[in-house]
Amino acid sequence: MASQAYLDKMQLRQSYRNLWHVDLMSTMKADFPFCCLALWCGPCVSYMLRKRALYNDMSRYVCCAGYLPCSGRCGESRCPEFCLCTEVFLCFGNSVASTRFLLQDEFNIQTTQCDNCIIGFMFCLQQLACIFSIVAMIVGSDEIQEASQILSCLSDFVYWTVCACMQTQHKIELDKRDGKFGPSPMMAVPPVQQMSRIDQPIPPPAGYPPQQAYGQTYGYPPPPQSGYPPAYPQAGSYPAPGYPAGYK
């Protein structure tokens, strides 16, 4: 049942309409100092971003944001700060991904095709490096061993770079949420139960303006009549067919 709930949540995430304020390719340009900080101090930045995503209320904390089977079973309620430190240092990749899912589900943010390609390339490179390492261990060839080491270094470099860009993307999105880009109003803190993402069939509204296309607002009822005449004549409003009076 739990695995099916995760699959349903992943399918629901594909229908999200909002976009990240900055895509992965533009994060270094958008906030280069923070991207460097995330590259060299990844676990510390992950701790800071998760706490900030929880509105600095650690009573809301659940291990891996409730997206893994271990969530809620690690004694988080007794010592959430220690549990979060353990998560970001021992499961750094999961901590970054959990914060990402947390923001996506709260703000209905979809993952673009470009972001999917970058993340997919990172995973494929890691798998390829692992395969080369296993083959080099079995065969014992120096050439394959050297190739596996090069691939391992390359995959690690791509992994840490992509994670740094993702965390910069999360930080910019939180800046947008907190109104640091302009006079947009601060959004209210959601109730505690909204931080558990699996049990939500439909994500709550996040305060972002709805997207419009051709005058129609998605997900909202049509606006009430404002006294203007209809764009098209309604049925029965045309004059009766025939010739005008006095025509001969």
Separation between Cα atoms, residue 74 and residue 93, nearest integer Å: 18
Q: Is residue 230 part of a domain?
A: no
How many domains does one find in the chain? Answer: 1
Q: Is residue 82 part of a domain?
A: yes
The two beta strands, 216-217 and 212-213, are antiparallel
pLDDT of residue 218: 41
What global pTM score does this model have? 0.68
Helix (H) / strand (E) containing 212: strand 212-213
Q: How far is CA 28 from the centre of its chain?
A: 18
pLDDT of residue 183: 57
pLDDT of residue 97: 92
Q: Is residue 167 part of a domain?
A: yes
Residuewise pLDDT in 10s, the chain (248 residues): 455 666 676 677 777 888 899 988 899 999 999 999 999 999 999 999 999 999 999 999 999 888 887 787 778 888 999 999 999 999 999 999 999 999 998 899 988 888 889 888 988 988 888 898 888 888 887 888 888 889 889 988 999 999 999 999 999 999 999 888 765 544 555 555 444 444 444 445 444 444 444 444 444 444 444 444 444 444 444 454 444 454 44
Q: Which range of residues forms the domain containing residue 122?
A: 2-181
Tokens 């893994």 correspond to what residue? 68
Q: Is residue 139 part of a domain?
A: yes
Q: Is residue 194 part of a domain?
A: no
Q: Is residue 236 part of a domain?
A: no
Q: Is residue 158 part of a domain?
A: yes
Q: Is residue 175 part of a domain?
A: yes
Give the other-Cβ count within 10 Å of 163's Cβ.
Answer: 21
